[in-house]
Amino acid sequence: MSSISLPLGGDVRKTRQNSLTLLINRFGVFFMILVLSGVGLIVSPGFFSSTNLLNILNAVSYLGIVAAGIAFVIFCGQYGDMSAPMTMAISGVISVEFMRYGLVPAFLAAMATGLVIGAVNGYIVGKFRANAIIWTLAMNFILEGLVRWSYKGTQIYPDMATEKTYQTGFFLPLLAKLDRHIMDIDLVSRAQAFNGLATTYPLGVPLVLYVMFAVMIIGYIVMSKTTFGNQLRVVGSSYEVGRMSGINATGTVMKAFMMSSLFASIAGIFMTSLNRVGAFYIGQGYDFQAVTAIILGGMSLSGGRGSMIGVFGGVFTLGLISNILTLVGIGTFTQKMITGFLFIVVVAVNARSLRKLGRDYA
């Protein structure tokens, strides 16, 4: 018997994961939240007042919506969706264009735009296996060019429209051609309803926050409780394995990107409503922040790992960090720098711990 036993020491790879490592890997972000809360309490005694907590959540609600979408892309192993900022901007612009026919058409048009962008991204990344970051970065530049070119570099205000306004834009010339009475629409009341979206407080809580929680819950259910979620997990862990086990890998990746762009366009509508102007610079910086939040939340860049609960934790952590740094008196620019370094450290540590576990590269 002894002649067929393994060589001295046997297989040194761990077959079972340390439960503590697993716990930290899965819920590490909530330890971080605990520590940050302690720091916050030291910095300011009023840290846990409901106003401050609501402020923190409100500040990250847009980020939360975007991150919930990009989480799908990262979950299926595609590093990230860098076209989120311009998806937000273009959806905002289009919602302003259609706002004159009511809020519902505005929402539908904006979300349809998002879906189209996501479908294009998803097809090219899923079918041709283009590098997701590089392609979506290119897509972001294309969309920026489109918005700037069709508006000739100007912005679009919900409450103002002259004859000239109807000569620029994506659908405005077409709308003007179809509807001869377009100049008679009372823009002021419609614009009030549109601009009010971001400043509505049902039960004292901003509407955007409800939307964020709704989006996150939907995202959680889709990602963890449905067949599509399981397919995402398989394709995320290994594209080839997913494809060979009979999953339509291209379609799965495409759907993930469509989720991402759809959520980004919802965030874009609210962002535009908050800024009261549709322009190409709405949503700048959200791509990177969202990816940071997702990675903080324990999702691995190699895909197939993590959950929406972690994403919420990551988003909340970023909110806490920003809040504490502001309380200490550190400006937004330095905060940006700190977030960047934090991201690199977290990614490097994450990759290292996964490698230690003998898993894979992140």
Partner 1 sequence: MLKTRDNSELINRINHNRIYFFLALVVIIMTLGAPGFLRSGNIAPMMKTALLPIMVGIGFTFAMIAGNFDLSVGAVINVGAAIVMGEFNRFYALFGGESAGDGAVIAAWIIAFVLALAAGSLVGLANGLVVAKGKVHSFIVTIGMLTAMSGFVYTYSKGNTISANSYMLVDVIEKPFLRVPYLEIITWRFLIVSLILAFFEILLTKTRWGRDLFMVGSNREAAWQAGIDTDRKVIESFVISGFTAALGGILFAVSMNAAVPNYGERGINPLMLVLASTIIGGTVMTGGHGSVLKTAVAVITIQAIFNGLIGMGLGFDSQVLAAGMLLGVVVLGEAYALYRQSLKRGERPSLMKEAAELKAARSSNR
Among 141, 226, 241, 245, binds partner 1 (CB under 8 A): 141
Using rule CB under 8 A, residue 144 touches partner 1: yes
Using rule CB under 8 A, residue 356 touches partner 1: no
68 versus 346: smaller Cβ distance to partner 1: 346
Q: Which string of x and - marks every residue 292-321 that binds partner 1 (by CB under 8 A)?
A: x--------x--------------------
Closest approach, Cβ 41 to partner 1, in A, equals 27
Closest approach, Cβ 159 to partner 1, in A, equals 24
Among 131, 199, 224, 230, binds partner 1 (CB under 8 A): 131
Structure tokens at 104: 């519902």
Q: Which string of x and - marks every residue 272-291 that binds partner 1 (by CB under 8 A)?
A: ---------x--xx--x--x
Using rule CB under 8 A, residue 138 touches partner 1: yes
Q: Which of residues 108-127 bind partner 1 (CB under 8 A)?
A: 124, 127
Closest approach, Cβ 75 to partner 1, in A, equals 16
Using rule CB under 8 A, residue 164 touches partner 1: no
Among 13, 50, 186, 361, binds partner 1 (CB under 8 A): 361
Under rule CB under 8 A, how many of the chain's residues touch partner 1? 51
148 versus 276: smaller Cβ distance to partner 1: 148
Closest approach, Cβ 177 to partner 1, in A, equals 23
Binding site residues, partner 1, CB under 8 A:
79, 82, 124, 127-131, 133-135, 137-139, 141-146, 148-149, 151-153, 281, 284-285, 288, 291-292, 301, 331, 333-341, 343-344, 347-348, 351-352, 355, 361-362
